[in-house]
Every structure is written in C-alpha cells, then in structure tokens.
Structure 1
Amino acid sequence: MSRKYLIFALAVILTGSCRNNTAEISGKIENPVPGEYLFLDELKSNDLISVDSIMISGDGVFKFTRAVKYPSFYLLKINQKNYLTMLLTPGERIKIRTEHDSLNFPSEISGSEGTELLVSYNRELLKAINRLKSLSDIYDRNIGKPTLPSVIDSLDLLAQSYLNEINRYTKEFIDRNITSLVSLMAIYQQVAPNVNVIDPSRDIAYFQKVDSSLYSRYPHYDQVMIFHDKVAELTARYGEPGTDTGGPDKRMTAPEISLPSPAGDTIKLSSTRGSVVLLDFWASWCPPCRTENPNLVYVYELYHKKGFQIYQVSLDKSKEAWIRGIREDHLEKWIHVSDVKYWNSVVVPQYNIESIPFNYLLDREGRIIAKNLRGDALQRKLAELFK
C-alpha cells in the first residue's frame, strides 16, 4: 500500500473512531422559556464539571455532542432542581422530549438504555418520597391533638412499610442491572436527608456486590474508584457479610421450612437431617443468584456422595418461571421448594431475608454453622468439612 493511501486509510479509521466515541443528546423542550440556558455537566469525582451550554431557542429544540470514551454520568440541567441524570455510552444518540419544568421526568426518551433505566428508577423513588411526605403531612395536621401518640404509632408502621418497599425495589433493580453503572447510582439514593434507601450498616453485602461487579469492569472510572474506596471503608466499619446479627444465630437449629416442591409434594427442611445442607434462597429473576448456580452444581457433584445436600428455596412469583430457571441452570438433582409468593413468602420474615442470594450452611443435626458463603468461600468450607 502506498504512503498516500495508507494516510487516507488511517484518516478514515480515525474519523470513524471519533464518530463512534461521540454521544449525541438532542430533543425538544415543550413550553420553553426563551433566553434560559440548558447546561451539560459531567459528574467527575465528587464534583460537577460544566462541559457545554446552549441558549434555549423559541421552539425548544436543542442538541449537544460530546466525546465519550467510556460510560459516564452527565446531567442535562436548566437549574439545580431541574435536571436529568444520564448515563452516556460511546456512540449513543439520545432523543428527549420534555416539559420545561420537569426535565428529570421526560415524556419521551430513547437511544440510551442506561438513561432510560435511571428515569424508570427515579420514578419509583419519587413515589416512595411522596408517600413518606404524605405521612409527614398527616403528622403536621395532628400536632396538638390528644390522638397524636396513636397517630405516630400508625405512621411509623406505614413509614417502615414504605421504606421496606423501596428498599426491595432498589435491590431488585440492582440485581437486574448489576453489571451496569446504573447500580452505582441506585445504591446511593436517599428518601430524605440521611435516610438511605440501602443502609450500609444493614446491607453491606449489597455495597460489596456492586463494588465487585463494577470494579472489575470499570477499574479506571473515577466514580467506581471512589466507590471502591468507600466500600473498603464501610467494610472496615461494619464487617464482612455474615457477621451481622440478622436472622437465626450460628449453632442454632435452623427454623423448620415446609413448602411444596415443583411436583406439588411438601418437603420439610428437617427431612435433610443426616446431611450437611446448604439452605439457599434464590429466584429465577435474580441475576446474582443465577450467576452463583453453576458453583452450586459444581460443589453438589463434588460432595453429594459424601453427604452433602442442597435445599433451595425460591422467592419466585411464578411457578412457570421457577421451574424454567431450575431447568435452564441444570439444578434438577437437589431439593427445590417454594410457595411462589415472592417477597411475601413465609420464609422472608422467618429468616429475616432482605436480599438474595442468601444462604445458611447446616451441619448434620440441622444447626447453622455458616452464613452467606458463595464461590470460593463455599468451596473452601466444604473442603474443610469433608476432608
């Protein structure tokens, strides 16, 4: 190839590369205020950096282009209270239609899966915030009334119920999107100042799960590095998973479970006495659970003949999805039970389950000897027990 054509080929390659790394944000603001500015800010470390701005035109049409090397968080902003959080990926073409006063909840959005997920999550978060605010309004209306103490008791119960609901929704959102940076944004959310949706003192394992997934994929992204350091600090403060006091204590006999199998017959947990048992809580809709299942197949094949059994309890809400998950992950060889009631399953309060995957390792007498062992940690523990 001649030097002339080589230079031309390189120019084409480089031009194509630049184009692929360029994200485009375009759309229309309904009922615009001409003369106002629309800003594009990048979230860098712990600061927002303004990277571009345009004056809003009379027809509300706008367009930004931005060179993006890897998935990054940006804000499309009119002011400090009216903005849209976006997860921009190289090559994306985001199209937005929104009212002037509700940029954070556009009526139409396409072209960016990450941004669409963030908008969807923020809608649910806003519902929770509004429900909690309504309780605060009820409290204000009852100040000075003799019934206030009983009203407070009722409001506390409702508030806890609302918090539990958004906590579970957020955990499921993270589980479904554990490989995406949207999980990083979700785990930081609050429903009020200093009221975290996911509290690290109770759910340190979720912070570690997000860190483990994202740090392996985006080790050079500053937001992920900051989070990685934060999780190390939180782990030092709150301990490793399994050191919490929630659920049955170690050396305690695991509470009885008696639930239907896929075939419809009832199988009790106590029927496994005489074997070392992994009591595992999972669901077909839970990606981290499905990721761990091949490890369960491996250890079952390795130790079943030596006296190892798995009693797997599903939090599925559909029997068909539950059975399909068992079949797809090749889990047919061990015990499966479920009442198919999702988070309303009887085992959730019985075992204080706040997230899945979740498990206990039981000795041959049905006593708890370990909690939340997965991957290499489970393999090491079983190797120790069956040596």
Structure 2
Amino acid sequence: MKKLLFALPLLLLFACNQEPTVKIKGSIKKGEGITLYLDKLHTARVETIDSVKLDKNGEFSFKTKSSQPEFYLLRLSNGKLLTLLTSPDEEVEVNSISTHMNQAYIVSGSTGSAFVKDLNDKLKETKDSLAVIRKELQEKKADPNYSSISQNLLAKYIEVIQDQREFSANFIMKNATSLSSYLALYQKIDDNTYTLNENDDIKYAKVVASSMRALYPEHEYTKAVLANLETMQKSLDNLKIKNLIKEKGANYPNLSLKNTTGKEINLNSLHGKLIVLSFWASQDVNSRKQNITLKKIHAKYKNNGLEIYQVSVDQDAKLWKEAIEKDGLNWINVCDTENGSALAVRNFNVQQIPANYIISKQGDIVGKNLYGLALEEKVAQYIK
C-alpha cells in the first residue's frame, strides 16, 4: 500500500507535465514525391511547423503541441492547400488528392475542421454560381430578349449573394462558441465583398467577439476580432454622427464607385441636391430607353439642384463607355466593371434593370422604380 501511495503523486505530477497535443494524419493520393507542410495560421503571418515528403502511398503524420483551438494549413509544395481548425488532444484524419487538395477531402476527428469545410464548401458553391451567372450575362448580350434575360439573371445574382449572407449569419449564431465563427465573419465573395456587410451585420461581429473573449481571452484571434470590432464601432458611430450633423444618408447606404476616367465618386457627396440614383446596363434595351427620359429631366432641372448618379452593372468597360458616349450622358456615370457593381446592387436590393431611387435634398428616399412620366412628375414635385 505504501508503494502505491508513493507512486500516485508521481503519476499525477507526470500527467500535469504532459502538454496537450494535436495529431494530424492521413493520406494524399497522387502525392508521391511532393512535400507536405503543416503551417500554423497566425492573424498576421504563417508559421511552418513541420514537413514530410510523401511516399507512394501519400501517407503522413504530424504531431504538435496545442493548448487551445488553432487554425492550421496542410500545404503541398505544388501550391494546393486546405485549412483545419483543431482543438487540444484531437486526433484528426484527413484524406485528399494532390490535384484537388481543398475540393475533394474528407476530414474526421475534428469538429472545428468539419465546420471550416462546411464554410469553405458553401463559399465555393456561391462563387461558382455567381461565375455562371456572370458568364451567362456576357453570352446573352446579343440576344434580342436580353432585357428580360438580364433582369432575371440579376435577380438570381442578388438571391445567391443573399443566400450566402444568411448562411454566414446563421452559422455564427449556431456555432458562436467555435473559433470557426471567426472565419465565417471574415470570408469574402471577392476581393472587395465580404459575405457579411460591415455596418449592417456588426451584431455578428459582437457575437463572435463576446464568445471568444469569454472562452479564449488571451488568444491572438480574440485580440484581433476585438480590435476590429472597436474599429468597426468607431467607424459606425462616426458615420452616424456625420449623418446627424449633415442630415444626410438618413435612409440609404453610401456608394463609392469610379467614373469613366477612374475617379472615385461618393453618392453622399451629392447631399443637398435632389438625386436620381439610376441602375442600368449598356446592352439593355429598356435601360437605353430610360436614358431618353433621364436626359429630358436632366436638361430641365440640372440648374435647379438635380443630380443623376448612374450605376452600370456592366462588366465590359468598353461597351459601357461607348453607350455613355452614344447616348450623350453628361452626368455622373460610375461602375465597378470587375464585379458588375455587385455590392451597390446588393446594398440597394436591386432586382431589375433598369431601376432607380429618388433621393430628396434632405437625404430621404422619396421614390423608387418610377419611369417615364411618373419619374418626371416625382422629380418636379421635389425639385422645388
């Protein structure tokens, strides 16, 4: 008995000295001769932890100390990679193929890594769907029914983006205690478009920050999201104060897009004027007809405080500029040709082309999707 009692403290001491680890193993098919790296993802850098040259079976095994959830990359020397989110003492198994590393992999033994896969799979589905729609818009430009076709495709485009936003928001609310929510918060549809809107969706940043602060107060990702939240909140507060002082932007989001010469023009810079915010496409027949009405209104009221801020959803800069010149449009014309002005379309919930908003001199939206005589009458009503 004395020997047993003597040994027990030693066992406890030994157990306390064991640092938590994460084991990651699996196989990468068609990976013979390729080097596989295990990288730890920090907020501002990537740290290579280990590496192995894959044999003909593509099998690998890594082990690293880890006392809290961490993001890791499995990265091949051919540039292919996938992201994992591990917790202490997890034994993660990953099976993939070297040519499609992040598209055809199976992960088990790690709830966080499964969440990451769900997020990335959904984002890929969204990007692929948007690419198909953009391609179809390009291919259908010569179609005599392009007007109705483009409206339907644009509505579908917005629907896909909105579906992604709802997925990201719901994911965060369901999995707020997982570090994967950090990833959901900062995913991007393209270089300029987050899945969540910075101002409108700040509540989700607060949820993630609150959860991470409670669970992992010293984690570098917690400090990063708290700092970002503070910046977002200050920006939002400053915007609110600015709007109250200048009485502008009361019920519409700002836009900042480039004109034909590359100069960026803010919609809010037109505060104090009556604004016709017009969305159009150079190859859309109804948009070109609408330009006739806009020219008439602009000529009549431009000296009385009327401004037209026209946003094109074109992705062909040449066609956009040619249409402006041919129609003689001498007001503000802007476009993000890389993305078809997708963010502007999304922020104003545009579901058809052409579309328009009438914004009063006080910054209130006083009309929407008015055409022909109805548009003329609404402008005349508020130009006084």
TM-score (normalizing by structure 1): 0.57
Superposed CA offset, 1:8-54 (max 9, x none): 76764465456561100001112x23221101111113111111111
Alpha-carbon offset, residue 156 of structure 1: 2.1
Partner in structure 1 of residue 112 of structure 2: 114
In structure 2, C-alpha distance between the alignment counterparts of 1:62 and 1:116, rounded to whole Å: 19
Q: Secondary structure at the match of 1:69?
A: coil
Specify the code of the residue in structure 1 equivalent to 2:58.
G
Give the structure 2 partner of residue 96 of structure 1: 94
- 8 Å CA contact retained: 1:96, 1:106: no
Say whether residues 1:177 and 2:148 are aligned partners: no
- Do the aligned partners of 1:105 and 1:119 also contact (CA within 8 Å) in 2? no
1:69 aligns with 2:72: no
Over 3 Å counting, the alpha-carbon distance change for 1:10 and 1:176 in structure 2 is: same
1:27 corresponds to: 26
Aligned to 2:207: 209
From 191, 194, 202, the counterpart of 2:192: 194
Provide the C-alpha distance between the structure 1 equivalents of 2:36 and 2:17, rounded to a whole number of angstroms: 25
5 Å-filtered alignment, 1:116-155, equals 116-143=114-141, 148=146, 150-155=148-153
Over 3 Å counting, the alpha-carbon distance change for 1:177 and 1:18 in structure 2 is farther
Cα displacement string for residues 92-144 of structure 1 (whole angstroms, at most 9, x for unaligned residues): 00011112222224543211110011112221221111101101111222346
Paired residue type of 1:118: V
Aligned residues of 2:31 and 2:97 also touching (Cα < 8 A): no
Taking the aligned partners of 1:18 and 1:68, their CA distance within structure 2 comes to 14
Sort the Cα spacing of 1:188 and 1:245 in 2 relative to 1 into closer, same or farther, 3 A: farther
Query: What residue identity is the alignment partner of 1:100?
Result: S
Change (3 A) 1:114 1:18: farther
* Whole-angstrom CA distance in 1 between matches of 2:38 and 2:135: 36
Q: Aligned partners of 1:98 and 1:118: how far apart in 2?
A: 15
Q: Secondary structure at the match of 2:52?
A: strand
Q: Per the alignment, in what secondary structure is the counterpart of residue 202 of structure 1?
A: coil
The residue type equivalent to 1:158 in the other structure is K
Would the aligned equivalents of 1:41 and 1:50 in 2 still touch at CA under 8 Å? Answer: yes
- What TM-score do the two structures reach when normalised by structure 2? 0.57
Identity %: 23
Q: Deviations over 1:255-293 (max 9, x none)?
A: xxxxxxxxxxxxxxxxxxxxxxxxxxxxxxxxxxxxxxx
Residue ranges of structure 2 left out of the alignment (5+ in a row): 242-248, 253-348, 350-384
Larger radius of gyration: 2
Q: Give the drift of 1:193.
A: 1.5
Alignment CA distance shift 1:164-1:80 (3 Å): farther
* Separation in structure 2 between the aligned mates of residue 10 and residue 80 of structure 1, nearest angstrom: 50
Q: Distance in 1 between matches of 2:136 and 2:237?
A: 38
* Distance (whole Å) between structure 2 residues aligned to residue 17 and residue 63 of structure 1: 25
| SS of residue matched to 1:101 | helix
Q: Which residue matches 1:231?
A: 229
Which position in structure 1 is the counterpart of 2:292? none
Q: CA deviation at 1:194?
A: 1.0
- Measured after TM superposition, the shift of residue 190 of structure 1 is 1.0
**Partner AA of 1:82 in structure 2:** K
Change (3 A) 1:53 1:15: farther
> 1:9/1:105 Cα in 2 relative to 1: closer, same or farther (>3 Å)?
farther
Q: Is the 8 A contact 2:36 2:74 kept in 1?
A: yes
- Measure how far apart 1:212 and its partner are: 1.2
Partner of 1:257: none
Whole-angstrom CA distance in 1 between matches of 2:190 and 2:147: 23
Report the CA distance shift for 1:136/1:11 in structure 2 as closer, same or farther (over 3 A).
Answer: farther
Contact kept? 1:75, 1:84, Cα under 8 Å: yes
Amino acid at match of 1:109: V
Contact 1:215–1:224 (Cα < 8 Å) also in 2: yes
Q: Is the 8 Å Cα contact of residues 18 and 67 (structure 1) preserved in structure 2?
A: no
Per-residue deviation at 1:82? Answer: 2.1
Aligned length, in residue pairs: 246
User: Which letter maps to 1:29?
Assistant: I
Which amino acid is the alignment partner of residue 26 of structure 2? G
What corresponds to 1:48 in structure 2? 46
Amino acid in structure 2 at the alignment position of 1:175:
M
